[in-house]
């Protein structure tokens, strides 16, 4: 049966790959992003390939955006049965260098976006016996220089995932993925040495592809994962299994 799958930050990278992955199996995909043009490009591409998708502007830190989009989807008879929280914001710098706005904004997008999603769609997820997948990071487990708010938000996502899996059981399964180094635009500015170091840190010896994360997200949201909830699954090529640098 066709599900309505709601993906945040779906205009680029892992979110876009996730939108395509659900569309490939016939789901109706709600492609949302703060970058409206990027969301439209992904939804257009899905439709051109024969899939079902619409594009919507959503800044996950804006409650009014969630409310407006929720009303629109309910009125259109498309209540989400799957929600993928993928949007994030990272502002580099050490903790003592952050002002209140920089710190709060990162938490508000990356962590509180997940809370806003369950507040908005707990009822549609419950009636669909649906599923939420939250995109955390290996930063929930390991430290790199200059990521204090990002690491706090990603660690928070793991704890919030566990909590939501408890609070909304048995009807809604809630899981997280922890990507390692994945080839998206976030790596565009990285040096060759930085990429090589990241590849070495993964026991599989390379960076991952967005599609490899999307496949795991799709699995966690599927009936094949019907007895899986509350987990934080690393999709990191083995990066968190070793102290290799």
Ligand X SMILES: NC(=O)c1ccc[n+]([C@@H]2O[C@H](COP(=O)([O-])OP(=O)(O)OC[C@H]3O[C@@H](n4cnc5c(N)ncnc54)[C@H](O)[C@@H]3O)[C@@H](O)[C@H]2O)c1
Q: Show which residues are catalytic.
A: 150
> How many residues bind to ligand X according to rule CB under 6 A?
28
Q: How far apart are CA 244 and CA 157, in angstroms?
A: 26
Residue in 55, 182, 216, 234 binding ligand X, rule: CB under 6 A:
182
Return the range that interacts with ligand X (CB under 6 A); candidates 13-21, 166-174, 189-197, 222-230: 13-21
Residue in 5, 7, 14, 151 binding ligand X, rule: CB under 6 A:
14
* 135 forms part of the interface with ligand X (CB under 6 A): yes
Closest to 133 in 3D by CA, of 67, 39, 4, 230: 230
Q: What string of DSSP letters covers 160-214?
A: HHHHHHHHTTTT-EEEEEEE-SB-SGGGTT--HHHHHHHHHHSTTSS-B-HHHHH
* 172 forms part of the interface with ligand X (CB under 6 A): no
Question: What CA–CA distances, in Å, run from 45 to 3, 38, 86, 119?
Answer: 19, 11, 20, 30
H or E stretch covering 195: helix 192-201
Q: Which is nearer to ligand X, 144 or 227 (CB)?
A: 144
Residue in 7, 13, 164, 174 binding ligand X, rule: CB under 6 A:
13
Q: How far apart are CA 228 and CA 75, in angstroms?
A: 31
Instruction: Dig out the tokens for 108 from the structure.
Output: 């508000």
What is the per-residue binding string for ligand X in 85-124, x denoting contact by CB under 6 A? Answer: -xxxx-------------------x---------------
Q: Which residues pair with 131 in a beta bridge?
A: 82, 173
Q: How far apart are CA 132 and CA 229, in angstroms?
A: 9
What is the per-residue binding string for ligand X in 199-218, x denoting contact by CB under 6 A? Answer: --------------------
Q: Which is nearer to ligand X, 61 or 70 (CB)?
A: 61
Q: Which is nearer to ligand X, 38 or 172 (CB)?
A: 38
Q: How far apart are CA 161 and CA 179, in angstroms?
A: 15
Closest to 87 in 3D by CA, of 179, 37, 13, 145: 13
What is the per-residue binding string for ligand X in 215-244, x denoting contact by CB under 6 A? Answer: ------------------------------
What is the per-residue binding string for ligand X in 44-73, x denoting contact by CB under 6 A? Answer: --------------xxxx------------
* 30 forms part of the interface with ligand X (CB under 6 A): no
CB 18 within 8 A of CB 10: yes
Q: Under the rule (CB under 6 A), what is the footprint of ligand X? A: 8-9, 11-15, 33-35, 38, 58-61, 86-89, 109, 135, 137, 179, 181-182, 184-186
């Amino acid at each position: 049966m066709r599900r309505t799958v709601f993906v945040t930050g779906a205009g680029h990278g892992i979110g876009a790959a996730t939108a395509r992955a659900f569309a490939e199996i016939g789901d109706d995909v709600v492609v949302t992003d703060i970058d409206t043009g990027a969301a439209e490009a992904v939804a257009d591409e899905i439709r051109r390939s024969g899939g079902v998708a619409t594009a919507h502007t959503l800044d996950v830190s804006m409650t009014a955006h969630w409310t407006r989009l929720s009303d629109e989807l309910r009125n259109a008879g498309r209540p989400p049965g799957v929600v993928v929280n993928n949007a994030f914001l990272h502002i580099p710098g050490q903790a003592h260098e952050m002002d209140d706005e920089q710190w709060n904004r990162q938490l508000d997008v990356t962590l509180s976006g997940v809370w806003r999603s369950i507040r908005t769609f707990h009822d549609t997820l419950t009636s669909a016996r649906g599923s939420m997948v939250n995109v955390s990071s290996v930063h929930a487990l390991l430290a790199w220089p200059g990521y204090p708010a990002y690491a706090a938000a990603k660690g928070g996502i793991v704890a919030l995932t566990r909590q939501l899996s408890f609070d909304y059981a048995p009807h809604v399964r809630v899981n997280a993925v922890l990507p390692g180094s994945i080839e998206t635009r976030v790596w565009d500015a990285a040096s060759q040495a930085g990429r090589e170091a990241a590849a070495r840190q993964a026991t599989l010896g390379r960076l991952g592809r967005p599609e490899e994360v999307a496949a795991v997200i799709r699995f966690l949201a599927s009936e094949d994962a019907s007895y899986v909830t509350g987990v934080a699954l690393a999709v990191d090529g083995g990066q968190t299994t070793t102290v290799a640098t």
